[in-house]
Amino acid sequence: MPDTENKNGATPRGAGTSKAKRAARRTPRPRLATNQRMVPPAARPKRRIVAVTSGKGGVGKTNIVTNLAIALARQGVRVLIVDGDLGLANVDLLLGVAPQYDLQDVVLGQRNIRDVVFEGPDGIHVLPASSGVEELANLDEFRTECLLRSLSDMDEECDLILIDSPSGIGHNATSMVQAADQILVVTTPEPTSFSDAYAMIKVLSRRPLKCVPSLLVNQANSDDEATNVARRVRTVAKRFLNIDVEYWGCVLADESVAKSVQRQEPFLSTYPYSPAASCIYSLARRVMGQEPMPVAPAQGPYGVVTPDELPEGV
């Protein structure tokens, strides 16, 4: 049976979504020339930019970005996700989509931003990156600035730009984050993770930023555990960097998250009543400037919650 595609050339889940199949269906493209230059737009986008980053990989950053975008869209916010991990893209995989075009086509000048962006669940828009392209993973400052300014083409179609930035303290990661109006650093309760989160905050504090980074604790077994982790990071940041890192809550450890990743679907779609989904909705309220909802004090990890298990009146 032939592949089915949406209007932007993205193949839906079930039609071949692995990285190998995704690469095989594309026509070969020329390599980036070291002297190749794009013409940057006059200014950066006017829409608010929120960047989600982390000190190390594997903390669930991309999963948070994807589901946060859906939560915001359900509140009427028009969201554009930018997969900022230019050489190791994952957002499209979590959505179960194999895009025909990506940021490599934009950098090469073969496509513009509007050609590459595709529509995801709940009306969110996604600007996908490439996978396994070394030149994009080491993009220079000029091309990075050009990409950021190219987002201004989507000003009329979105209210908020959500960047899934690369993990780590490399140049590409910090350059992406530096353009944001709000920075969210994701960590887990593991000592190596929150130590690297502090390292990321330290590196960012030495750059000109529009805001002080905030902290989100993912995969926490309880709200108390997340609060303790956040307190440790905030205390060290205040003592050695003299900055007040705001704690933006947690996402509880939840079996439904891993199950949804295996299905290549956002857990807000597959398990909308799960504890992790409630945490994401609370995070979305913070992004919109509203008071967050309280997190249940029970211990995790949580099991999958179905609509039949909801108490009456919820």
Strand 182-187 relative to strand 160-164, pairing: unpaired
Q: Supply the pTM of this predicted model.
A: 0.81
pLDDT of residue 107: 76
pLDDT of residue 246: 96
pLDDT of residue 66: 96
Extract the tokens encoding 247: 């704690």
Residues of the chain with pLDDT under 50: 1-4, 7, 13-18, 21, 23-25, 27, 32-37, 297-314
pLDDT of residue 104: 80
CATH of 43-295, one of 3.40.50.300, 3.30.200.20, 3.90.245.10, 1.10.10.10: 3.40.50.300
pLDDT of residue 230: 97
Residue spans per domain, the chain: 43-295
Annotate the chain with three-state secondary structure.
Answer: CCCCCCCCCCECCCCCCCHHHHHHCCCCCCCCCCCCCCCCCCCCCCCEEEEEEECCCCCCHHHHHHHHHHHHHCCCCCEEEEECCCCECCHHHHCCCECCCCHHHHHCCCCCHHHHCEECHHHCEEECCCECCHHHHCCCHHHHHHHHHHHHHHCCCCCEEEEECCCCCCHHHHHHHHCCCEEEEEECCCHHHHHHHHHHHHHHHCCCCCCCCEEEEEEECCHHHHHHHHHHHHHHHHHHCCCCCEEEEEEECEHHHHHHHHHCCCHHHHCCCCHHHHHHHHHHHHHCCCCCCCCCCCCCCECCCCHHHCCCCC
pLDDT of residue 234: 97
Which residues pair with residue 160 across a beta bridge? 48, 79
